[in-house]
Structure 1
């Protein structure tokens, strides 16, 4: 059962549990951790502008941007990482909340970020795929 909209951080655990129950894990725990870390950082960079330099191939335009959301008024409510059809592809499904520059707060926003596993210096690395 999902919490009502506007529940705030108190409802995040229920949202996380609903995602886990609806979409059974199919990736090793180490891959999930890597994908959670990358997915959260990439979403934060996208919506707040903070940390875009870490993703130069994803954010081609590196000039300063006026972010839609302040880092202080943004939070990830829940996240899961699952295979996306093939063993070398994954999707990070994020549910998040934020207050935009106009002061409108919305929770339950959904973003899916896609990654492909490659190898760098002999180690597996998950690389974000460009937006389509």
Structure 2
């Protein structure tokens, strides 16, 4: 009986190590234990409240502000209140970030009456954290809340 050796494995290529100072990792201290995210990068899950401003900045940069400042502040306040009420069965709830933008319905080709101005609609996008009723804590949860502005300037939550 003839012995057959298995085919040799392909060589494993390991790039040479660059000993320059730029490639040497900086020592980790308590203050730098969580590296700052790079531009366009979100912090990893579980980063806690310290990451909320980074998430807010990313959300702000995702679309241009297009509501008057007062209207934006009103719908943000309303949505925070509504979302905290909606998540009453959760614990440790916090809103990590929120934006309010104009929500324009898709055009259907038919124009509305010239005497009837189109209602101003807003969409609020929330990023929030909390522990569900089973106790599972997660951050980075998302929610969307929509509003329509009434003739008197107040806002009504809608489901369109």
Q: Name the TM-score, length of structure 2 as normaliser.
A: 0.64
Aligned twin of 1:52: none
SS of 1:7's equivalent in the other structure is coil
CA drift at 1:19: 0.6
Alignment of 1:89 onto 2:108:
no
Cα deviations across residues 31-68 of structure 1 (Å, max 9, x unaligned)?
Answer: 010001000001111111xxxxxxxxxxxxxxxxxx2x
**Which of the two has greater strand per residue?**
1
- Number of residue pairs aligned between Structure 1 and Structure 2: 107
Distance 1:2 1:9 in 2: 13
Q: Over aligned residue pairs, what C-alpha RMSD do you find?
A: 1.3
CA drift at 1:22: 1.0
Distance 1:81 1:45 in 2: 19
Runs of 5+ unmatched residues, structure 2: 1-40, 106-118
Alignment of 1:34 onto 2:34:
no
**Which of the two has greater helix per residue?**
1
- Higher-Rg structure is 2
Runs of 5+ unmatched residues, structure 1: 49-66
CA drift at 1:74: 0.3
Deviating beyond 4 angstroms after TM superposition, the runs of 4 or more aligned structure 1 residues are: none
Alignment of 1:17 onto 2:57:
yes
